Amino acid sequence: MNKLRFRSGQVQLRKLRVDANSQVAPGDLLWLDGNVARPASEFTWDTDLATTQSSFAAAFVGIAHQASGVGETLPISVDVGTQSVYEMDVSPAAYEFGQPLGPDENLSTLMSQQLETCLAQNAIARSAEFTAGTVATLRVTLASAFSTSSTNAQAVIG
């Protein structure tokens, strides 16, 4: 997919190192593994989707604004803000404004650029619009576990 579709709002870019074995594309949902960022697709599966989404939410840092190839370790720009709106791929459905969203999965692997509805405590994003029918793209706001203004239920300070 490799799509970064920023639509509006306040972006809060931070520079994060990427694991040398990871490949990151603009638009990837990233998590912090120690002190390096990795795409959602590299997150370890745990029991079922809800359990994995919950663990991912606790480590979710933001959305990649730059690419990083395998072997590269230079820092990339990542939006950790909660006020920016992105248009993201979603599991086809109708959505309500404010609906909690987590990373979708494919064969017990989290997808790096697609969301689906989830329990509020597992959410890393919320729908930023109501849809009158089934859609495959949706405007969303993100909820980094590393932002003090986040709606991420897993976010903690200290």
The answer to whether the Cα torsion of 74, 89, 85, 150 is positive or negative is: negative
Q: Which of 76, 77, 43, 80 shows the shortest CA–CA distance to 61?
A: 80
Per-residue pLDDT at 158: 43
Per-residue pLDDT at 73: 84
Q: Report mean pLDDT in 10-residue bins for the chain, 158 residues.
A: 83 94 96 96 96 95 95 93 94 96 96 96 95 96 78 55
Per-residue pLDDT at 155: 57
Q: Which of 112, 116, 86 shows the shortest CA–CA distance to 99?
A: 116
Per-residue pLDDT at 3: 81
Per-residue pLDDT at 41: 97
**Is residue 1 within 8 Å of 23, Cβ to Cβ?**
no
Domain residue ranges of the chain, discontinuous segments joined by + = 6-142
Per-residue pLDDT at 14: 94
